[in-house]
Amino acid sequence: SVVDQQVSTGQLPTWEEVEELTALAYAEYRDLDEGEVADYIPALAHASPDWFGVSVAEVHGRIHDVGEARHPFSIQSVSKAFVFALVCEEFGHDVVRERIGANNTGLSFNSVIAIELNEGSPMNPMVNAGAIATTGMLAGISHERQWSRIREGLSAFAGRELEVDAEVYASEMASNQRNQAIAYLLQSYGRLNRDPHETLDVYTRQCSLLVTGHDLAIMGSTLANGGVNPITGERVVSPDTTRDTLSMLAGNGMYERSGEWLFEIGLPAKSGVAGGIVAVSPGKGAVGTFSPRLDRAGNSVRGQRAIAYLSRALGLNLF
Ligand code: DON
């Protein structure tokens, strides 16, 4: 097969081969019906389990889209990767390591007990506790300014202006008691720089930003390209921040399944409960996928399979 012939040469295959392999990854997993659509945020339950899109962005700006690669969905936890990058850019490596941490919890993304077991540490910026604490680090500015910094920053990664899905935002704000518990617990440990309610409002807005698989591929390829968006040419973050973000994704981006993911797929990645995944291959590009059927850790099933396939077929994998 095409996959077996592909050896990692340090370069992507030709345009036609990438086009063909992206289409094959889509066709191979389109009918896989494992996994469930998330419903703990009521508005997410409206998603069709059949939606599936795959997008590959090459580091020099060429993009390959298949299926529903242009279908909008809420970014959810994939936002954590890019908000972390913005905060890391502002505060630097040592401060984020000290304030947030870099180790996996081994527990689910919205675990409360992980905070207790670790004496109030949010542990890493990819679980809810760490992401809420990360968003809260943008202190000393107004609530509205904090939000516009995040929206503008994520839009710069995508190369277009991102908008909130008002229904998803309202639905999560009305059902996020667990995240409220996490935010207040962090505050009780002196781990939240801002008011818990305000911080959660911004965190929930960031999670409700609408993106497509195509956007995720561009956002990821900005990280693959040392922090410069390959489409707009804008420098969004520094190469140091890119390195810090990708190592954080490798260790924690797929939650308690991160080790297994790295062992099988060999790429830093981040998932979200609306069904998005972005996987980044430094120097080569990124894959963005969208399919709302999730496994028990909250990671899209078809997305994981399609990325596993492309990782090997395109020689993207680091390991
Ligand atoms: O805070 C939450 O629970 C959601 N806004 C995001 C969670 C999420 O995407 C977990 N990912 N797979």
Q: What is the dihedral of CA 149, 155, 158, 162, to 10 degrees?
A: 140
What are the distances in angstroms from CA 143 to CA 147, 157, 205?
A: 6, 22, 12
Tell me what pLDDT residue 11 has: 80
Q: Which residues are annotated as part of the binding site for substrate?
A: 77, 128, 172, 179, 203, 255, 273
Q: Which atom of ligand 1 is nearest to the CA of 298?
A: 12
Vertex 146: Cα angle to 176 and 144 (nearest 5): 85
What are the distances in angstroms from CA 9 to CA 98, 281, 314, 318?
A: 38, 13, 10, 12
What DSSP state is assigned to residue 11? S
**Secondary structure of residue 1 in the 3-state scheme:** coil
Tell me what pLDDT residue 101 has: 98
Name the band, by pLDDT with cuts 50, 70 and 90, for residue 9.
low
pLDDT digits (tens, 9 = 90+) for 133-142: 999 998 778 8
Which among 311, 44, 313 is positioned nearest to 167, based on CA atoms? Answer: 44
CATH 3.40.710.10 segments of the chain: 2-76+211-313, 78-207
Cα separation of 172 and 247, whole Å? 29
Mutate to test the pocket of ligand 1, among 128, 186, 211, 291 (most ligand atoms within 8 A of CB): 128
**Secondary structure of residue 111 in the 3-state scheme:** coil
Assigned superfamily of 2-76+211-313: DD-peptidase/beta-lactamase superfamily (3.40.710.10)
Q: Which residues are annotated as part of the binding site?
A: 77, 128, 172, 179, 203, 255, 273
pLDDT digits (tens, 9 = 90+) for 182-224: 999 999 999 998 899 999 999 999 999 999 999 999 999 999 9
d(CA 23, ligand 1 centre) in Å: 29
d(CA 2, ligand 1 centre) in Å: 36
pLDDT digits (tens, 9 = 90+) for 270-310: 999 999 999 999 999 999 999 999 999 899 999 999 999 99
Q: Which atom of ligand 1 is nearest to the CA of 110?
A: 3
What DSSP state is assigned to residue 12? -
Please give all residues whose beta carbon lies within 6 A of any atom in ligand 1, as ranges: 76-77, 109-110, 128, 172, 179, 207, 271-273, 298
pLDDT at 8 over 90: no
What DSSP state is assigned to residue 174? T
Assigned superfamily of 78-207: DD-peptidase/beta-lactamase superfamily (3.40.710.10)
pLDDT at 89 over 90: yes
ipTM exceeding the 0.90 mark: yes
- Name every residue whose Cβ is closer than 8 Å to that of residue 140 and which is 6 or more positions away in sequence: none
